[in-house]
Amino acid sequence: MAQIAQILDQDPQNFDRRTHRLSVLSSFLPESHLPAAWVKREPQNVNALVLYSLAELEHGRRSGALPDGSATWARCQRAADLDPQNPAPWVAMLGIARLERAHRREVFAIWDEIVARDRWHREAYFSMLHYLGPQESGSLGRAIEFVDSLLTRMPPNAPCAAVELEVHLMRYHSAKARGGAEALLARDQWDSTQTAQFLVRAQATWPRPAFFSHAAAVSDLNLLAYALTAAGRLRGAAPVFEAVGGRVTSWPWRYEGDPLTVFESARNKAR
């Protein structure tokens, strides 16, 4: 518990890194007693409250429902009251609202609270993209509209910049999932003018060491390496794989099978 507290106490004003650490840690703790024990020991500790809420949320995603949605929500509210400038409690609430199929108005109210605190919060943008996508409350068209509305305002190296790539992957995977001729032609979407231009820009800039500074940059590089491989742009993928090194993320490689196996196969093709 002390080690977790020490990790989460680093960079207290860097909300991007704080949220990222909370998210990563919670993904390993949905069945652990540690988050609950920490909150019992320190009921006014914001990191403890958010970590417990995110761990419960991860458990809910895996099982299909939160053990006690009201209690989890109340912990998030308490954390938000204790640290009003921190977007992390609101990010957790956004996840709860998605899982519990809250009214659209409530979801967008939470979204407004997050971006008021951190304009380009990566996890929040990805969360809203999937909320608006075909697997939840919206459609592929709504997800695309959401991203299109950002493109003229979002800095190219914003923490959430990869949301544009994620929607391209969403469209690609949707076509593959439909099967038949659409699945066979799914790769052609990477050749559309807008998508191809995006890939060219991203492969030229994202691998640069100083281009991204947010905590989940390696996740974005994994997304780009996968997309370039899917598009058949193997020469462009090579420096991206080099920038990734051995830091393989589960998504998006797991879409094709075992993440490590798929990653290694794709990297070998790009060499």
CB 222 within 8 A of CB 244: yes
Any domain includes 104:
yes
The range of the structural domain enclosing residue 224 comes to: 157-271
Query: Could you tell me which of 204, 205, 163, 168 has the C-alpha nearest to residue 188?
Result: 168
Do 100 and 196 lie in one domain? The reply is no
Do 175 and 271 lie in one domain? The reply is yes
pLDDT at res. 251? 96
Do 164 and 264 lie in one domain? The reply is yes
Question: To which H or E segment does residue 264 belong?
Answer: helix 259-270
Q: For 213-231, what is each residue's pLDDT tens digit?
A: 999 999 999 999 999 999 9
Predicted confidence (pLDDT) at residue 7 exceeds the cutoff of 70: yes
CB 120 within 8 A of CB 160: yes
Rounded to an integer, the average pLDDT of 147-161 is 96
pLDDT at res. 53? 97
List CB contacts of 116: < 8 A, sequence separation 6 or more: none
Whether omega before 252 lies within 30 degrees of 0, making that bond cis, reads: yes
% of the chain beyond a pLDDT of 90: 86
pLDDT at res. 249? 97
Tokens of 268: 């070998």
> Count H helices, E strands: the chain?
15, 0
Any domain includes 147:
no
φ, ψ of residue 99 to 5 degrees: the values are: -65, -35
Alpha-carbon distance 226 to 220, whole Å? 10
pLDDT at res. 182? 85
List CB contacts of 225: < 8 A, sequence separation 6 or more: 237, 240, 241, 244, 263, 266, 267, 270
Q: For 27-68, what is each residue's pLDDT tens digit?
A: 998 889 999 999 999 999 999 999 999 999 999 999 989 989
Any domain includes 1:
yes
Q: For 165-202, what is each residue's pLDDT tens digit?
A: 999 999 999 999 888 988 888 889 999 999 999 999 99
Give the total number of structural domains in the chain: 2
Any domain includes 141:
no
pLDDT at res. 71? 96
CB 138 within 8 A of CB 114: no
What is the chain's mean pLDDT, rounded? 94
User: The domain spanning residue 18 has which CATH number?
Assistant: 1.25.40
pLDDT at res. 1? 67
Q: Quickly count: other Cβ atoms within 10 Å of residue 147's Cβ.
A: 21
pTM over 0.85: yes
Do 34 and 101 lie in one domain? The reply is yes
Any domain includes 14:
yes
Any domain includes 266:
yes
Rounded to an integer, the average pLDDT of 151-167 is 96
Domain boundary among 118, 140, 165: 118
Domain boundary among 90, 118, 146: 118
